[in-house]
Chain A
Amino acid sequence: MTTTIREKPFSLAKSRRVIQWLVVIGTFVLGLRHIMPGETSRGGSFDSFCAFGGIETLLPFLFTGHLLKSTNLLNFSVLIATLGVSLIAGRAFCGWLCGLGAIQDFVAEWTRKLLGERRHIRGKQSKTILPLHLPAVVDRSLRYAKYLVLAVILIASLYAAFPPLREFCPVRAVFGLKMTSLLWFTLIVFLAGSILVERFWCKYFCPLGATLAIFNKISPVRIVSDTNHCNSCGRCDIECSMGIKDVPLNLDDTECIRCLECMDTCARDGSLELKVIKS
């Protein structure tokens, strides 16, 4: 008698969770290192490991040749790395490598569990009341706020001594471990927002996400939908943490964080595929 061993299907969602946990732990270690005595090791301050710090200090550096205080040349390397990923795969950094994005995903998952969802069935709408789905008009309008935040920060960076977002930066609030009253306030708002609305910061306020959004239109690695296979079941819409409607028709949406949850959830082979395409 022959027995066939069925290969366990590869789960993108599980791989993403592992990477997200590694990013979160790594960022916590970085924050911890910077509150320890003798933190004056190579690499400078906690802020110098931030991609957005590179954007905040770019204009002052180009115009005056000086970086903003607490930023470092390393910020540019981290920014180049983030832009490099985006150039290849759009906003994949947001979906896979951002510590704040990971925390928001965890908070949404824990919220659902606390509110009674025993086991999440992929592609099935959660019955818990939180995270909320904001009315479409409010949601659509609020999504422009992140571009406004980015514009304000870029202008403010020309007149600032420190990075303009520094005192309200959720990364410092969550991982920095050097708290001020403003950072405590930021932390509370960030966590409350993430409990109420999935990926609250990414959707409405993240200036780095606003910077990377355009790359979804030009990156060669994209998710492609095959309308011959798709039966419009809506499973992908339910799993989209960024709340994109009609996912198969909006795969190049600037809001997509290329987490590939839609692909992982899709039950029909060949309906959603990852491809390298010529722009």
Chain B
Amino acid sequence: MKINPRYYPAIIIAAYVIFLLLGILLGFGPERGSEGHGNSMLFQLAFTTLESLV
């Protein structure tokens, strides 16, 4: 499928914004003071699920 190059900048900016929001929704948000610590909700959920399975 051919894409009009005119839309290319919009495609990459939209992709960046959508994936950035996706990352934040997954729990990788700008938490203040989280430098050096990992407290992602996603990872906590994954770790808890894994622990309950093992």
- A→B interface (CB under 8 Å): 10, 12, 15-16, 19, 40-45, 48, 61, 65-85, 88-89, 92-93, 96-97, 221, 260, 263-264, 273-276
Q: A45-B35, A48-B30 are in contact. Are A85 and B9 (CB under 8 A)?
A: no
**What's the Cα separation between A76 and B30 when bound, in Å?**
10
Q: Is there contact, CB below 8 Å, between A92 and B38?
A: no
Q: A85-B16, A260-B8 are in contact. Are A221 and B35 (CB under 8 A)?
A: no
Q: Is there contact, CB below 8 Å, between A274 and B35?
A: no
Q: Mark interface residues in B6-18 (1 if CB within 8 Å of A CB, else 0).
A: 1011011101111
| Interface size range on B against A | 35 or more
**What's the Cα separation between A85 and B4 when bound, in Å?**
18
Q: Is there contact, CB below 8 Å, between B36 and A67?
A: yes
**What's the Cα separation between A92 and B13 when bound, in Å?**
10
- B→A interface (CB under 8 Å): 1-6, 8-9, 11-13, 15-20, 22-24, 26-40, 43, 47
Give the distance to chain B from A13, nearest Cβ to Cβ, in Å.
11
Q: Is there contact, CB below 8 Å, between B30 and A85?
A: no
